[in-house]
Amino acid sequence: MIKKYVYGTPFPTEAVVKDIEASDDKLSFFETDDKGSFTYTFAEDDIVYGLGEQIRGINKRGWQYVSWNYDNPNHHEDARSLYGSHNFIIISGKQTFGAFFDYAGEIEFDIGYTKRSEMKITPKTSDLIVYIITGDNEKDIVKQFRGLIGRSYIPPFWAFGYGQSRWGYKNEQEIRDVAQQHKAAGIPLDSIYLDIDYMERYKDFTVDSELFPNLEKLAEDMKAQGIYLVPIIDAGVKIEDGYDVYEEGVRDNYFCKNAEGDDFVGAVWPGKVHFPDFLNPEARKWFGNKYSVLTSLGIEGFWNDMNEPAIFYTEDRLKDTCAKIEKLTSENMGINEFFEFTGMVAGLNGNKGDYDKFYHNVNGRMVKHSDVHNLYGMNMTRSAFEALREICPEKRTLFFSRSSYIGAHRYGGIWQGDNKSWWSHILQSMQQLPALNMAGFLFTGSDTGGFGCDTTEDLMMRWLQYSLFTPLFRNHSALGTRGQELYRFGNKGAAAEIVKIRYCLIPYLYSEYLKAALNDEMIFKPLAFDFPEDEMAKQVDDQLLLGNELMIAPIYKQNAFGRYVYLPEEMLLVRMKSCENITTEVLPKGHHYVDIPLDELVFFIRKNKAIPFGKAVEHTAAIDKNTLRLLGYPDCLYELYSDDGYSPVPDNSLNISML
Ligand code: MIG
């Protein structure tokens, strides 16, 4: 059952698609106070699931999290905010229920931080809607919530292939080389991503004519090899005379305004920019239609970046800061002044105060950005999704975004942002998956190999062995870091085998994805969601159930060639060196130490289950649904969902066949 409680005058976030009547009852479970906080007193063993893209473990107890979409490249244990705001939690224990705090501004989740036994949720203002969801168990609560927020985005089939990305691919030739080198090394590939380098001076919907003289031809040649190009689009629009996007936006008042009513100016990669007012439906439509500049060149997928929105600095703050620095340096700078100086400079990027300085036009009403901050990225992706649905209605377009709010899951996926080539970030990505799925985000994955910092071959191998299970499977790295395309490593053959196994698993992963999207279910679940009576399962936060058949337990520690795994029931251990070299072994319920050499993929098939398993192929177009074998317990069947992989999927479409 879902109950809705309305406080003050909430901004319509459009996270929810079902109209339910507000309840007059007293709010259950939480105590409210005059500061606008919602307080829950924990029982010792209560677990808190959820919050989507956040740091720390699957159980969120023991930290303070802040929903404030933020371009934060430091996913450290003490971070409070990342790129998305997913204010849905499930409290599981003495009482089990779900709660969604539908609020467009900043909201704090103190989950046993100030007081270990207490959770206190505090929005900036008391204008929000709280939904309380009760049900049979965690899965039932998730299903009800997902019904409330609408069906998850379904990408095209090719989006399940392996993707290669890097910030800094210089020109067309380099893209061709990347494709060629994958082919030469026998590494399957379905997509190559274009980062900001392809644009002319970082201007959205332009292509640098020297570096990429003929993008249409490049896209066509790549497609002939089964490879899709996926360009990036940034939120900020460069201020430059003669640039149509800039000029149209100014002319039609499609940019966010400052308090004086002028177009607000921030600085990001293109230099000075205006921010499209994605909360204005007209502006949304206008910007979305611009994607056709690229679809008309044969592009079928996009990633949206910098849409928290990220602001490196604003002119006013820069001026103030420079003035203060001048004052400091003209006097005798002591140590305190030195730290004041470095703090001020560091504080320019992503400064919260800047978000108070601009406004959105919401049906004629000027709304301060910071009051609706967390909706910006969602509406950027919505802008693209809604326009492309009309521009190319016959097919699905790949979309994923960096910033998001619940509701954005209907328009696209998200990638998990600027992680680092750190062992701990394999685990961090994995721990976000169930929480993201709870919030409707099914199409997701991390920058495989790590984005920031230099990766190593062993880290990459382990990362692949984890990422090959996530819907978005993309190798991406930052400018200036060590190149991490798989063909660069000593044992590229081993990496190629791991990627090929991904392709054998795609029929299964796609089928589970579609079933989850169409039935409002999760793909990745904590063990306790399926084994609620198992006290041990509740403690496990480095293994996940995948779909209805698998359990994964990847390695995320340097120089570990095995690990402890907890089996909540008897399972079949599957060991793969390649798509053909497979051994299996039945393991009883309980704790096991499992050897996992660097070049082997290990996962588990649940008792009396089987999965479809294909052949190694070069790209998704070559996957043949007619030659699938079953892998798993003998005489077990699998319900396979399949479709053409590109037509939009109607709501009632469950093309299931028994395999
Ligand atoms: O300030 O476009 O998260 O994936 O490579 C960095 C350059 C801007 C951040 C994205 C990252 C991308 C990078 N972008």
Please give the pLDDT value at position 338: 87
CA distance 486 to 162: 11
Nearest CA to ligand 1 atom 13: 167
Is the residue at 621 inside a domain? yes
CA distance 601 to 464: 9
62 conformational bin, left if phi > 0, alpha if psi -120 to 50, beta if neither: left
End-of-domain residue from the set 329, 348, 367: 348
**Both ends of the chain: CA-CA distance in Å?**
36
654: pLDDT strictly greater than 80: no
Beta-ladder partners of 546: 524, 550
Q: Which of 308, 521, 541, 549 is catalytic?
A: 308
Please give the pLDDT value at position 177: 98
CA distance 524 to 548: 9
How many structural domains comprise the chain? 3
CA distance 496 to 486: 8
What's the whole-number mean pLDDT along residues 524-541?
98
Cβ–ligand 1 contact at 402 (below 6 Å): yes
653: pLDDT strictly greater than 80: no
Q: Which of 418, 447, 521, 549 is catalytic?
A: 418
CA geometry: angle at 271 spanning 384 and 477, to 5°? 65
Please give the pLDDT value at position 247: 98
Using the 8-state DSSP alphabet, how is residue 446 labeled?
Answer: -
pLDDT tens, 549-596?
Answer: 999 999 999 999 999 999 999 999 999 999 999 999 999 999 999 999
Report residue 176's pLDDT band, with 50, 70 and 90 as the boundaries. very high
**How many Å lie between the centroid of ligand 1 and the Cα of residue 439?**
24
Is the residue at 378 inside a domain? no
Is the residue at 531 inside a domain? yes
Is 282 an active-site residue? no
Is 277 an active-site residue? no
Answer yes or no: are the C-beta atoms of 336 and 432 closer than 8 Å: no
Atom of ligand 1 nearest to the CA of 479: 5
Cβ–ligand 1 contact at 195 (below 6 Å): yes
Is the residue at 578 inside a domain? yes
Cβ–ligand 1 contact at 55 (below 6 Å): no
Strands 571-576, 582-587: pairing is antiparallel
Is the residue at 138 inside a domain? yes
Is the residue at 318 inside a domain? yes
Cβ–ligand 1 contact at 373 (below 6 Å): no
pLDDT tens, 219-250?
Answer: 999 999 999 999 999 999 999 999 999 999 99
CA distance 405 to 86: 6
CATH number at residue 87: 2.60.40.1760
Please give the pLDDT value at position 334: 86
Is 520 an active-site residue? no
CATH number at residue 514: 2.60.40.4040
pLDDT tens, 364-413?
Answer: 999 999 999 999 999 999 999 999 999 999 999 999 999 999 999 999 99
Is the residue at 540 inside a domain? yes
Is the residue at 580 inside a domain? yes
Domain that holds residue 637: 509-658
Strands 118-123, 107-111: pairing is antiparallel
pLDDT tens, 414-461?
Answer: 999 999 999 999 999 999 999 999 999 999 999 999 999 999 999 999
pTM: 0.97
Cβ–ligand 1 contact at 167 (below 6 Å): yes
Please give the pLDDT value at position 308: 98
Distances in whole angstroms, Cα of residue 249 to Cα of each of 11, 257, 263, 353, 362: 25, 12, 9, 25, 16
